[in-house]
């Protein structure tokens, strides 16, 4: 049975879709409608092809794989494992705006993109999403180790020595934590030379100035931010939990973390958190490239094609080790 007070709050008019999440007393949530897109499969007019493959049927997780329709001769493409945003609570790899982003990025950076459909909170609280992310890395490794039985697009066209973890917002949080967990795994012949963290979603008990200013933010208002963390964190965990606030306790795995690109913008309510995170990486000796653009807003790459092209250009340069 639903929590009527939560439902009344969620029904108020708001410019943020995140305020339309409805919490229920049984530990579930109702989510706003978001259009979804099917994969292209083998449509002949598509510049970028895509298809879905199962990951873990018991968890209802799957992967949407993208590749350019025209492939370079004698050159295998880097692989980008991508984790979508949504505060761990909403959206899908099939959400039209994330599907479009992955299509555009595949063509712009000339890569294979593997986008994960992971379990969402509150039905599956953290670390469920991290576990799904690591399972994706291990699935990619299995393709590299057994190419005869592997997924054809990956084994024929993918460069397993150049596999990058990338995410936007909460997906960037996932890429960071999956990168930490992967340091303890034997991945060869798969290699993870870098993490690409776009507007990573972090938090903490004490408000930052950029969070305080975000009360009426049209994309990530303070109330929505609080709701997402309350639904995503393990039961009883506070906002200084390691899943939310990575700077409180530096993990020992950090010294083995791959090179990181951390990208944000001044208009993002999370920009102060991202700066704290970059300072931690630098202080602990991690290899990090930090970029903070003027203006903008959270999830800007989904709504501003010029910003999306700028992101793709930096991702391409990072993959080519030109940053």
Which residues does the annotation mark as catalytic? 169, 268, 298
Alpha-carbon gap, residue 144 to 79, rounded angstroms: 12
Contact 132, 119 (CB under 8 A): yes
Beta-sheet pairing, 29-30 with 22-23: antiparallel
Token code pair at residue 319: 């993959």
**Pick from 276, 302, 300, 303: nearest CA to 290:** 276
Contact 84, 167 (CB under 8 A): yes
CB 274 within 8 A of CB 262: yes
Hey, CA dihedral for 163, 164, 167, 172, is it positive or negative? Answer: positive
CA proximity to 285, closest of 250, 318, 320, 313: 250
Tell me whether strands 158-168 and 259-265 are parallel, antiparallel or unpaired: unpaired
Q: Of 293, 254, 292, give the one whose Cα is nearest residue 176.
A: 254
How do beta strands 61-68 and 288-293 pair?
Answer: unpaired
- Cα gap 219→230, rounded to integer Å: 18
DSSP letter, residue 56? E
Of 73, 48, 86, the closest CA to residue 157 belongs to: 73
């Amino acid at each position: 049975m639903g929590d009527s007070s939560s439902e009344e709050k969620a029904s108020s008019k708001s410019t943020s879709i995140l305020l339309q999440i409805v919490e229920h007393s049984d530990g579930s949530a109702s989510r706003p409608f978001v259009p979804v897109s099917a994969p292209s499969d083998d449509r002949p007019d598509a510049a970028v092809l895509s298809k879905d493959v199962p990951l873990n049927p018991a968890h209802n997780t799957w992967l949407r794989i993208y590749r350019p329709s025209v492939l370079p001769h004698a050159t295998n493409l880097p692989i980008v494992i991508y984790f979508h945003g949504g505060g761990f609570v909403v959206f899908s790899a099939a959400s039209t705006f994330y599907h479009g982003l992955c299509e555009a990025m595949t063509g712009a950076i000339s890569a294979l993109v593997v986008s994960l459909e992971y379990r969402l909170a509150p039905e599956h609280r953290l670390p469920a999403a991290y576990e799904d992310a690591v399972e994706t890395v291990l699935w990619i490794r299995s393709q590299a180790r057994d190419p005869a039985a592997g997924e054809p697009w990956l084994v024929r066209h993918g460069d397993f020595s150049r596999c990058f973890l990338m995410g936007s917002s909460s997906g960037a949080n996932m890429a960071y934590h999956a990168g930490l967990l992967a340091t303890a795994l034997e991945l060869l012949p798969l290699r993870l030379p870098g993490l690409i963290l776009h507007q990573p979603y972090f938090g903490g008990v004490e408000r930052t100035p950029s969070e305080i200013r975000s009360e009426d933010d049209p994309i990530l208002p303070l109330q929505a931010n609080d709701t997402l963390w309350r639904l995503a964190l393990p039961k009883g965990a506070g906002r200084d939990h390691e899943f939310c606030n990575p700077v409180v306790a530096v993990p020992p795995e950090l010294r083995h973390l791959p090179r990181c690109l951390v990208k944000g913008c001044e208009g993002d309510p999370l920009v102060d958190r991202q700066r704290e995170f970059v300072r931690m990486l630098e202080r602990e000796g991690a290899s990090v490239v930090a970029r903070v653009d003027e203006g903008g807003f959270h999830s800007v790459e989904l709504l501003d094609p010029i910003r999306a092209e700028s992101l793709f250009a930096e991702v391409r340069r990072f993959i080519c080790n030109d940053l």
